[in-house]
Structure 1
Amino acid sequence: MINIFQPSLGAEEVAAVAEVFESNWVGKGERTAKFEAAFAEHLGVGQDRVMTVNSCTEGLFLSMQLAEVGPGDDVVLPTVSFVGAGNAVASRGARPVFCDVDPRTLNPTAADVEAALTPVTKAVIVLHYGGRAGEVAEIARLCRERGILLVEDAACAPASRVEGQACGTVGDIGVWSFDGAKILVTGDGGVLTARDPGLVERGRKLTYFGLEQVSGFSQARQAGTRWWEFQISSFSRRSVMNDVQSAIGLVQLGKLGGFVRRRQEIADRYDRRLRGTAGITTPPPLPGGQTSSHYMYWIQLDPAQRDQVAADLYAAGIYTTFRYAALHAVDAYDWDGWLPNAEHAVAATLCLPLHQALADDDVDFVADTLLESVNAR
């Protein structure tokens, strides 16, 4: 089976984990601090603005807590988004308000976001679909003008930039994912960054039980203290990354540039094979000033054919999917509305295999099988 996502892990990651085991410390420690510093450098921000979390979803939940979102508040987010974003809003007792998306990029435009704002909108969450920045700069300006906090779900965009600025740092809070289906993989884990370092400082306590003094071992160095005693500032949970994940992350971060270059080569090959083909719509070119992480490559087909084409590809040993199912159609969110661009995209879009381990022959096989299926309809 040609997988749609696949990590690239090898001997260097194994060696890094072995060093952690030999240190006899596998919890959050020195390597996690080093990974935070390295990721901050990658983003071009200060280390005081970056913290690790155990998943991107936890970062989204934490962002809503840091934004003090609660009952009576609305949070605008694109309906084509990950369920973790919708759950993060609803878990605070707030109302998710879903906005439409551009029918080809599947990212929300500034106009889409503005149309969904209400008098009680407290925050906006945007997803960088497939690794593309979209209109995040314009959305950020809109949010600043309205006094609304902007959260960037940059799970798909670890190396994406707009006018040289890293996605995830354009708004007020950004979150990233390192799970097994992402580009930079640590198994699980994530990062949260904030424009205000004070939010990160507060976030560190919220991800470790609300403890005022995190390390009794460090406190023990001070004479005259009872280092086993503690105080808490909130009723919080434990949701940190550890040194095993961080050691893998440091190796993967060093490879990220090469991963993205290979993914771009694959996307370009798909473009050459598929662009201009009757019955297949490929992603539009990137706007000037933007770079993509090329997390996903998607095509759009006649909705009456899309599911059968996916079945044909699967029968040939090619796994495809559609991400992300429209959240406004999820009954639990109790949303009543029609979003025409998203409705079309959800019915027409199919994501093709894209990961750095794909060989050119694999890409050609996917393209050939796709063309054969579409031409047979």
Structure 2
Amino acid sequence: MINVFQPSLGDDELAAVGEVFKTSWIGRGTKVAEFEEAWAAHLGVGRSHVTSTNSCTEATFLAMELFGIGPGDEVVLPTVNFVGAANAVAAHGARPVFCDVDPELLNPTVEDIERCLTPKTRGVLLLHYGGRPGHIVEIAKLCQERGIWLMEDAANAQSSSVDGKAVGTFGDISAWSFDWGKIAVALDGGILYAKDPAVTAEAAKRAYLGMAQSSGFSEAHRTQTRWWEFEVSSFSRRSIMNDVQAAVGTTQLAKLRDFVKRRRLIAEFYDSAIAEVPGLRTPPPLPDGHESSYYIYWVQMDPAIRDAVARQLFDEGIYTTFRYQLLHKVDAYGSDAVLPSAEKAAASTLCLPIHQALSDSDIGRVVDTLARAVRDRTHG
């Protein structure tokens, strides 16, 4: 089966894990600190702006706590989105307000967001679909002008930027994912960025049960007695990474540039080859100055054939999908929004395999099988 997403793990990662095992310490320690430092350098920000978590979703939950949202508050987010984002809002008693998206880009425009703003709006939680920065510059400006916060869900955008500025550093808080299906992985885990280092420091405390000290062992190096005593500043969860995850993540981060380079070549091949297939539309070109992580590659077609095309591809050993389910259609959120552009996109879009482990023969097979499936249903 040719998978949509797939990590690239091997001897380097095993060796990094082996080095952790030799220390007899696999909890949060020096490797986590190294990973956080490496990620801060990747973003081009100071170390004090980032802290690790056990997942991007947990970082999003922490962010909602830090923003202090609660009953009566509204948070605007695109309906084409990961369920964790809406859960983080709803779990704090606030109302997720779903906005429409551009039907070709699957990212919201400024106008899409602006239509949803009310006096109850506390902030915007923006996903960068597929790794494309979208309208982040304009949306950040809108939020600043309206006096509301902006959080970037940059799980798709590990190496995306606008005019050299890293995606994830435009908002007040941002989060990245390093789970098994992302580009650079850490087995699991996340990173939270805050523009204000004091917010990062508070996030780090909340990620470890609200405790000011990281461990009794580290405290024993600083104090002469009773290093096992502690204080709690918030009733928080344990949401930290460990050194095994961080060792893998740091090793993967060193390869991220090459991973994205390979994904870019695959996307360019798809753009060229699929453009020759009648009935298929490829994603619009990136604007000048925009760099993408190429996390998702999608095509669009007649909604009447999309599901059957996906089924034929699967039956022939090629897994495709649509990311992400429209959240305003999920009953649990109680939304009555009517979002025609997102619904049009959801009915016509299919996400194709794109990961750095794909061979040239794999991507050729994807294109040939896709073209045949569309042709069979268009002319058959």
Whether TM-score is above 0.5 comes out as yes
Q: Is contact 1:97–1:116 with CA below 8 Å preserved after alignment? A: yes
Pairwise CA distance, 1:186: 1.1
Q: Deviation string for 1:59-110 (max 9, x for gaps)?
A: 1111111111111100000000000000000000000000000000100111
CA distance in 2, matches of 1:63, 1:35: 20
CA distance in 2, matches of 1:101, 1:224: 58
Secondary structure of 2:350's match? strand
CA distance in 2, matches of 1:231, 1:365: 59
Secondary structure of 1:229's match? coil
Question: Residues 31 and 222 (structure 1 numbering): CA distance in 2 closer, same or farther, change over 3 Å?
Answer: closer
CA distance in 1, matches of 2:216, 2:338: 54
Match in the other structure for 1:45: 45
1:35 aligns with 2:38: no
Match in the other structure for 1:258: 258
CA distance in 2, matches of 1:367, 1:301: 14
Secondary structure of 2:255's match? helix
Identity of aligned residues (%): 60
Match in the other structure for 2:26: 26
Question: Residues 268 and 223 (structure 1 numbering): CA distance in 2 closer, same or farther, change over 3 Å?
Answer: closer
Letter in 2 for 1:16: A
Q: Deviation string for 1:27-76 (max 9, x for gaps)?
A: 01101101100100000000000000000000111111111111110000
Letter in 1 for 2:67: A
Q: Is contact 1:66–1:203 with CA below 8 Å preserved after alignment? A: yes
Secondary structure of 2:282's match? coil
Q: Deviation string for 1:309-364 (max 9, x for gaps)?
A: 00010111000000000000000000002101000011110000000010111111
Secondary structure of 1:37's match? helix
Pairwise CA distance, 1:219: 2.1
Match in the other structure for 1:283: 283
Question: Residues 246 and 224 (structure 1 numbering): CA distance in 2 closer, same or farther, change over 3 Å?
Answer: closer
Matches within 5 A, 1:1-377: 1-222=1-222, 224-377=224-377
CA distance in 2, matches of 1:126, 1:224: 47
CA distance in 2, matches of 1:177, 1:219: 30
Secondary structure of 2:254's match? helix
Letter in 2 for 1:122: R
CA distance in 2, matches of 1:223, 1:83: 44
Structure 1 unmatched runs, 5+? none
Secondary structure of 2:80's match? coil
Q: Is contact 1:219–1:225 with CA below 8 Å preserved after alignment? A: no
Letter in 2 for 1:371: A
Secondary structure of 1:371's match? helix
Question: Residues 284 and 222 (structure 1 numbering): CA distance in 2 closer, same or farther, change over 3 Å?
Answer: closer
CA distance in 1, matches of 2:219, 2:241: 22
Aligned pair count reads 377
Letter in 1 for 2:239: S
In the TM superposition, structure 1's runs of 4+ consecutive aligned residues that sit over 6 Å from their partners are: none
Pairwise CA distance, 1:217: 1.4
Deviates more, 1:136-145 or 1:222-231: 222-231
Letter in 2 for 1:212: A
CA distance in 2, matches of 1:249, 1:224: 35
CA distance in 2, matches of 1:223, 1:367: 63
Structure 2 unmatched runs, 5+? none
Q: Is contact 1:281–1:299 with CA below 8 Å preserved after alignment? A: yes
CA distance in 1, matches of 2:296, 2:329: 23
Letter in 2 for 1:214: S
Q: Deviation string for 1:172-231 (max 9, x for gaps)?
A: 111000000100111110100010101100001100010122221122234543111111
CA distance in 2, matches of 1:6, 1:224: 49
Pairwise CA distance, 1:270: 0.5
Secondary structure of 2:40's match? helix
CA distance in 2, matches of 1:241, 1:362: 34
Question: Residues 367 and 167 (structure 1 numbering): CA distance in 2 closer, same or farther, change over 3 Å?
Answer: same
Secondary structure of 2:115's match? helix
Secondary structure of 1:351's match? strand
Question: Residues 222 and 282 (structure 1 numbering): CA distance in 2 closer, same or farther, change over 3 Å?
Answer: closer
Q: Deviation string for 1:260-283 (max 9, x for gaps)?
A: 000000000111111153210110
Question: Residues 225 and 318 (structure 1 numbering): CA distance in 2 closer, same or farther, change over 3 Å?
Answer: same
Question: Residues 363 and 209 (structure 1 numbering): CA distance in 2 closer, same or farther, change over 3 Å?
Answer: same
Q: Is contact 1:100–1:340 with CA below 8 Å preserved after alignment? A: yes
